[in-house]
Amino acid sequence: MCKNHTIIFTFVIMVQKMDMADFISNGFKQFIPQLSIDCTIFGYHENQLKVLLRSWKGVDGWCLPGGYIDRSESIEEAAHRILNERTGLTNVFLQQYYTFGDLRRLMNPGNEILLKSSWLYKDARGSWLGDRTISIGYYALIEFSKAVPKPDEFSKDCAWWDIQNLPVLLFDHEQMINKAINTIRTQLKYQPVGLNLLPNKFTLPELQKLYETILDRTIDRRNFQKKILSLGVLKRLDQRRKIGAHRSPSLFTFDKVKYKRALSESKGPGF
């Protein structure tokens, strides 16, 4: 039975406000059992794409920040709360992208050994936390330097990891991250990206670098400029950036009204 093999690790941040033993015994009265939220928070900064991970005290391996849904909050509110508690950020655009519900999603051979040797497995396996859990995935794409990762008292650490160089991930969280990246890459085809990720004024090569970093491939420069300009979301400023004797590319900014319209109309450059 699932109960004997799985363990739910996506402890709500609220745990810190409750006594641990009480949470294990009575948490299900406050939270919906068997359903959690995990947030894949990507951070972009100077041509690097990172993801926010946390590690548990007493367990090797990292996982996404996640938690349970309070019975009095919507799943959207729960996702925003979890994001805020781990990054200090509010008003971040969070997008639900997939719900993960495989039977043994919290276990794989590597995880099993890690988890069975942990304090949590021993304490929680017979409780509501030991049941199979289905998790709703949300992602956010934020400017890296704006977030201050905050571990809670059950975490050993909470930190940014380069997506090209991830540590050992617990549960199905590697699959969750991959699905989130693939979702973002597909969305680049029909949505603009860059607002809140780049400085207010930027050059086309800087915007191209953002696309290339997310897509993890190069794009032909002329093709990029043609498609991105035809979207109509950019305003060319009467300023240039001096980056060399013969190089001073024009500066651009996003036309926020047209940017938002492109988002709502699912209009993108099609890369």
186 part of the interface to a copy of itself, by CB under 8 A: yes
Return the residue of 88, 110, 167, 270 that touches a copy of itself, per CB under 8 A. 270
> What is the pairing mode between strands 134-143 and 31-45?
parallel
Task: Give CA–CA dist 79/86, Å, rounded.
Answer: 11
Residue 57 DSSP one-character state: T
Min. distance of Cβ 220 from a copy of itself in angstroms? Answer: 17
102 part of the interface to a copy of itself, by CB under 8 A: yes
73 part of the interface to a copy of itself, by CB under 8 A: yes
For the segment 26-55, give every residue that binds a copy of itself (CB under 8 A): 32-35
For the segment 110-139, give every residue that binds a copy of itself (CB under 8 A): 132, 134, 136
230 part of the interface to a copy of itself, by CB under 8 A: no
Task: Give CA–CA dist 258/123, Å, rounded.
Answer: 53
In 6-154, the DSSP E strands lie at 31-45, 48-56, 62-63, 66-70, 94-100, 134-143
2 part of the interface to a copy of itself, by CB under 8 A: yes
Contact 69, 31 (CB under 8 A): yes
98 part of the interface to a copy of itself, by CB under 8 A: yes
Return the residue of 4, 72, 164, 200 that touches a copy of itself, per CB under 8 A. 72
Tell me the site size for a copy of itself, rule CB under 8 A.
Answer: 28
In the chain, the DSSP E strands lie at 31-45, 48-56, 62-63, 66-70, 94-100, 134-143, 155-162, 234-240, 250-254
Residue 249 DSSP one-character state: P
Nearest CB to a copy of itself, comparing residues 183 and 253: 183
| Single-letter residue type at 235 | K
For the segment 236-265, give every residue that binds a copy of itself (CB under 8 A): none
Coil vs helix vs strand at 196: coil
CA 120 to chain centre: 25
> What is the pairing mode between strands 31-45 and 155-162?
unpaired
Return the residue of 25, 47, 48, 99 that touches a copy of itself, per CB under 8 A. 99
Which of 260, 176, 185, 270 is closest to 223 using CA atoms? 270
What do you get for the CA distance between the two ends of the chain, in Å?
45
Min. distance of Cβ 261 from a copy of itself in angstroms? Answer: 15
Nearest CB to a copy of itself, comparing residues 16 and 95: 95
Q: What tokens does 163 get?
A: 């997506």
Nearest CB to a copy of itself, comparing residues 167 and 270: 270
Return the residue of 74, 223, 239, 250 that touches a copy of itself, per CB under 8 A. 74
69 part of the interface to a copy of itself, by CB under 8 A: yes
Chain positions contacting a copy of itself, by CB under 8 A: 2, 32-35, 69, 71-76, 96, 98-99, 101-103, 132, 134, 136, 185-186, 189-190, 266, 268, 270
